[in-house]
Amino acid sequence: MAFSSTAPLLRIDAKGALPLILAAFPRRLRLCLDTALRIPAAREGVVAEITALVPEAADLAAAWNTNTAAAGADPWCDPDVIAARGALTRFLDHHAAERDVPAARALADCVTLLSCGGDDAAAAARIALPIWLEAEALPGLILHLPALAEAQTALGLGRRADHDEEVDVHEQDAGATLLEAWTEALEAAYTSLNAGASNVVAASAVLSRSASSEFVSCTPLVRALVLFGEKLTRPIADQAGEHERQRRRVAEQALAKARAREREASQSSATRRETISVPSTPVALAPGQIVVVAEVRETGTDRGRSMTKGYEGIIGKPVSLAPVPDLAQLRTALRFEFPYATGLIDRLLVDLTNRSYVGFSPTLVLGQPGVGKSRLISRIAYHLGVGLWRVDATHDSGAAIGGLDRRWANAEPAHPFLAIARYGVANPLMLVDELEKASTRRDYGRLWDSLLPMIEPETARVYPDPAFQTPLDISHVSWLFTANDIAPLPGPLLDRLRVIEMQAPTANDLEALLPPVLAGIAASRRLDPRFLATLDGEEIIAVRRHWRGGSIRRLARLVETVVAAREVSSRRH
């Protein structure tokens, strides 16, 4: 009897991939969609998180957990539980608003989900909007699936390829088979959980309007959202299934008629390589133009052709550089909106002096949360007219920003190229927000590592894009970053960045900040700024009493509250 030295591969299915995808879901949706959730254990976990994040609420959290556990099967009807839950959620909501800590509000929502009944319309109304916002962010998880599949494949193979000098054919075939299985399983798991998230969103919206059903009144809210959502969407799913079956029948008939013709086309395309945007003569460039990508070679397959779709106006074509506008006017506009940051504005704009086209040195704007770092960069891009491509370092992986390989179904070019394609200029502005919070796990691809070749001028000029598989010239793209702390950042990245600190505004800046804050409120309401009168003496005193400097977001909320109170008072009179 012969024995193989290669361990048999485990069968991978969507059920086994579900926990991996669910772990990446936002907190509230993860709580609702976890079919293995044990509510008592979940309460203990929430209490531990509250104690760590808001130590002042530890006693309230413990009291809520104790009363809920003692109430029995229907804790949402117990007066002691209702009182303990209300005290805890009010404290967390106040802490979240006062300290600008969204995580505290999320924990309060978890308390609501775990200790309210399915027929509690007020509880459903509370969590309807946050859950909808979390569901809106789910498509971003697709970018992480390729890296996750590769990591699980490496674990399944025992990482033997890291230790052997050569990998035999059987090892390669096993790795390819396992990678394909993990990719399909993760995509299926994501699709299933995404559908469940849609059900939860629909259920929370309907239950918030005091709708009810025979089974939700005796079910905790965290369970009722899934059950009621499935009931709501079942007719739609059945109808969609019938449409899909009809579509497949039509497609199969068309495929049968075109099978021979498609086989001939695939054979001919396999023997040749097509090239798009191959100019017969060198591209004539006017002043202020560059060629970002000269050509993209394709295999002739459907996936290969789709790589260039939508980018025909850039591949092999000249792309203009945005010129530098009047710096005096730009400085005046920025100083009006950010009167407390004139030094930072001048240090940034010095990069544009004596230049014909917009371009900034890679710069990290350092400052405490809420001082307006991201908004300042956004307004600079707006006034320059170059477009702003924003990357959230807390969610985006290195593999995503640097591009995804052509062999993946969700392949896409590097983000700087996407910014060029969207805004039509070769020198857009890239903003990487909260740089220090980027993931440090290397198996998913570190954002910090992917940035190095893109911000270095020499390598950015011939950046090897994994989707197009050809060099890109992204050397004219400007990179600006924000961070609250530079301690976590690696040395090689810091060496390439200019670090400028943005000081927080103080109470002495209040009068100078009120006009731009009022202008921002008017813009959000689509009003002419002249329709909002400036604050009078008593209103300024009220704002000053609650704002002693620091977060601009908090100041904007206070001013908006004053404006709303003024409007209510005027309607009464």
Report how far residue 218's alpha carbon sits from residue 424's, in angstroms, rounded to the nearest whole number. Answer: 56
pLDDT reported for residue 160: 45
Under a CB-based contact definition with an 8 Å cutoff, are residues 439 and 397 in contact? Answer: yes
Which of these three, 200, 233, 266, is where a domain ends? 233
Instruction: Compute the average pLDDT of residues 300-306.
Output: 51
Under a CB-based contact definition with an 8 Å cutoff, are residues 415 and 400 in contact? Answer: yes
**DSSP state letters, 214-239:** TTTTTSBHHHHHHHHHHHHHHHHHHH
207 located within any domain: yes
Which of these three, 501, 521, 543, is where a domain ends? 501
Residue 199: which residues within 8 A CB-CB, separation 6 or more? 225, 226, 229, 230, 232, 233
Q: What is the helix (H) or strand (E) element at residue 545, kind and residue range?
A: helix 537-546
Identify the three-state secondary structure at position 480.
strand
Instruction: Compute the average pLDDT of residues 469-497.
Output: 90
DSSP-assigned beta bridge partners for residue 483:
366
Assign residue 490 the CATH number of its domain.
3.40.50.300
Under a CB-based contact definition with an 8 Å cutoff, are residues 356 and 324 in contact? Answer: yes
9 located within any domain: no
Q: Taking the CA atoms of 194, 199, 200 and 205 in sequence, report the sign of the dihedral they define.
A: positive
261 located within any domain: no
179 located within any domain: yes
pLDDT at 465 over 50: yes
Under a CB-based contact definition with an 8 Å cutoff, are residues 454 and 414 in contact? Answer: yes
- Both 397 and 437 in one domain: the answer is yes
Under a CB-based contact definition with an 8 Å cutoff, are residues 567 and 385 in contact? Answer: no
- Both 179 and 227 in one domain: the answer is yes
Instruction: Compute the average pLDDT of residues 107-115.
Output: 91
Q: Which domain holds residue 534?
A: 507-572
- Both 30 and 168 in one domain: the answer is yes
DSSP-assigned beta bridge partners for residue 482:
365
- Both 167 and 75 in one domain: the answer is yes
The pair phi, psi for residue 246, each rounded to 5°, is -65, -40
pLDDT reported for residue 302: 47
- Both 410 and 494 in one domain: the answer is yes
Report how far residue 555's alpha carbon sits from residue 511's, in angstroms, rounded to the nearest whole number. Answer: 12
Residue 271 is given by DSSP the state T
Instruction: Compute the average pLDDT of residues 127-154.
Output: 83
434 located within any domain: yes
Instruction: Compute the average pLDDT of residues 233-246.
Output: 66
| CB burial of residue 80 (10 Å; 0-12, 13-18, 19+) | middle
Which of these three, 233, 263, 289, is where a domain ends? 233
pLDDT at 5 over 60: no
129 located within any domain: yes
- Both 348 and 481 in one domain: the answer is yes
pLDDT at 306 over 90: no
pLDDT reported for residue 357: 93
Report how far residue 17's alpha carbon sits from residue 153's, in angstroms, rounded to the nearest whole number. Answer: 12
311 located within any domain: no
- Both 154 and 175 in one domain: the answer is yes
**DSSP state letters, 38-70:** -HHHHHHHHHHHHHHH-GGGHHHHHHHHHHHHH
- Both 545 and 430 in one domain: the answer is no
What is the overall mean pLDDT for the chain? 80
- Both 471 and 513 in one domain: the answer is no
pLDDT range class, residue 483, cuts 50, 70, 90:
very high
Report how far residue 97's alpha carbon sits from residue 76's, in angstroms, rounded to the nearest whole number. Answer: 26
pLDDT at 34 over 60: yes
- Both 517 and 493 in one domain: the answer is no
Instruction: Compute the average pLDDT of residues 432-440.
Output: 85
pLDDT reported for residue 508: 81
pLDDT tens digit sequence for 183-208 = 888 888 888 888 888 888 888 888 88
pLDDT reported for residue 91: 94
- Both 52 and 151 in one domain: the answer is yes
For the entire predicted model, the pTM comes to 0.50
Report how far residue 197's alpha carbon sits from residue 29's, in angstroms, rounded to the nearest whole number. Answer: 7
Residue 547: which residues within 8 A CB-CB, separation 6 or more? 507, 510, 554, 555, 558
pLDDT reported for residue 380: 92
Report how far residue 300's alpha carbon sits from residue 362's, in angstroms, rounded to the nearest whole number. Answer: 39
From residue 190, alpha-carbon distances to 229, 325, 408, 434 in Å are 18, 46, 16, 27
pLDDT at 244 over 70: no
pLDDT at 549 over 90: no
- Structural domain tally of the chain? 3
